[in-house]
Amino acid sequence: MADLKCTDLCMTFANQQTGAKVEALKDINFTLKKGELLSVLGPSGCGKTTLLNMVAGFITPTSGQIAVGDRVIDGPGADRGMVFQQGALFEWLTVAKNVDFGLRMQGVSEAESRDQVEKWLATVGLQGFADTPTYQLSGGMQQRVALARCLVNDPDVILMDEPLGALDALTREKMQSLVLELWKKTGKTIIIITHSVEEALLLGERLFVMAPRPGRIHKEYQLPFAEWGLKRSLRDIKLEPEFSTVREEILTMIWNMEEEIMGGA
C-alpha cells in the first residue's frame, strides 16, 4: 500500500464525428496519502469519470502520469478496485460467485475463498444471501455485493463512480454509513465521485470541487465530517451550522459555474 500521485495529468478527447477537441482534464496534480478518503464533486461533464477511469487504468492520459507508490499505472489491475453506479454485477452468477470472482480468477481454491466471501458478505450486511441470484436483489443490495466483490480482492485503492447515485434517499443514507464504516475498518484509500454536495461533504476527508472546460480542480477542502460520521449519526451532522456553511458555499460555487457555462453556451 502506498500513496497515489497524479502529476500534470491532461486528457484531450477528439470528437469522433467533428474531430473537435475536448479538454476533459487539464493539469491535474494531487497526492493522496494511503488511507485517505477523497470525494470529488463538480457539475456534469467536468471530467470526474475521466479522472477515475484514468486512475483505474481504463484509459491512458494524453500526458502526465499516475503512480501508486513507485509504480506508474499503465492498465487496469486488481490493486485498484472499482465500484460502478449500476453495480455491474454478473447476473448469471450468485451473490457468492460474484464476490469470489476476483479470487477465482487468481486461482484461489473455493475452500479458501469461502471464508473470505462469508466474512465480507457479513461486513456489508448480506449474511444468508450467498446463494441468491443477483438479479433478485434490490439496487442497494446489489451495490453492497459490488462493494464486497471489490473488497475481497484487497485492493490498495477503491474507486467509486457515483456509487449511490441510483439509490433512494433512505437506502442512500444507510450506504453512506456503510462506506464510512468500511473506510475505518479497512483503512483503504478511497476516491468517491458524487454529484450530491451533502454526500461529498459527509464522505470526504478531502474534497475536490472540479470545474469544467477545461476540467480542473477548482478548489480543495479539508473536512472533519467524515471523522465525525464514524461516531455520530449522519443526520445530526447535517444539522450542524458548520456543515451548512460549507454546503452553502459550495452550492453557490457550483451554481455560479453552471451559470457561467449556460451564459457562455
Ligand X SMILES: Nc1ncnc2c1ncn2[C@@H]1O[C@H](COP(=O)(O)OP(=O)(O)O)[C@@H](O)[C@H]1O
Can residue 165 be called a binding residue for another protein (CB under 8 A)? no
Can residue 73 be called a binding residue for ligand X (CB under 6 A)? no
How would you label 108-140 residue by residue, b for 16+ Cβ within 10 Å and e otherwise? eeeeebeebbeebbebbebeebbeeebeebebb
User: What residues contact 81, with CB distance under 8 A and at least 6 apart?
Assistant: 150, 151, 153, 155, 157, 158, 159
Calpha distance 19→13 (Å, rounded) = 9
Q: Binder to ligand X among 26, 48, 80, 97 (CB under 6 A)? A: 48
Q: Binder to Mg ion among 6, 28, 49, 81 (CB under 5 A)? A: 49
Calpha distance 90→97 (Å, rounded) = 9
Can residue 13 be called a binding residue for ligand X (CB under 6 A)? yes
**Residue 76 binding result from Mg ion, ligand X, another protein, none, given CB thresholds of 5 to 8 Å by partner type:** another protein
Question: Please, what is the minimum distance in Å from the beta carbon of residue 162 to Mg ion?
Answer: 6
**Residue 137 binding result from ligand X, another protein, Mg ion, none, given CB thresholds of 5 to 8 Å by partner type:** none
Question: Please, what is the minimum distance in Å from the beta carbon of residue 167 to another protein?
Answer: 17
Question: Please, what is the minimum distance in Å from the beta carbon of residue 54 to ligand X?
Answer: 10
CB atoms inside a 10 Å sphere around CB 5: 17
Q: Which stretch binds ligand X (CB under 6 A): 27-35, 44-52, 85-93, 243-251?
A: 44-52
Can residue 194 be called a binding residue for ligand X (CB under 6 A)? no
**Residue 251 binding result from Mg ion, another protein, ligand X, none, given CB thresholds of 5 to 8 Å by partner type:** none
CB of 41 or CB of 141, closer to ligand X: 41
User: What residues contact 248, with CB distance under 8 A and at least 6 apart?
Assistant: none
Can residue 14 be called a binding residue for another protein (CB under 8 A)? no
Per the listing, cell 473470505 goes with 116
Q: Which of 3, 1, 26, 12 is nearest to 59 (CA)?
A: 12
CB of 150 or CB of 250, closer to another protein: 150
User: What residues contact 91, with CB distance under 8 A and at least 6 apart?
Assistant: 133, 134, 135
Q: What residues make contact with Mg ion under the rule CB under 5 A?
A: 49
Q: What residues make contact with another protein under the rule CB under 8 A?
A: 56-58, 76-78, 80-82, 84, 86, 88-93, 101-102, 104-106, 133, 135, 146, 149-150, 153, 155
Q: What residues make contact with ligand X under the rule CB under 6 A?
A: 13, 22, 24, 42, 44-50
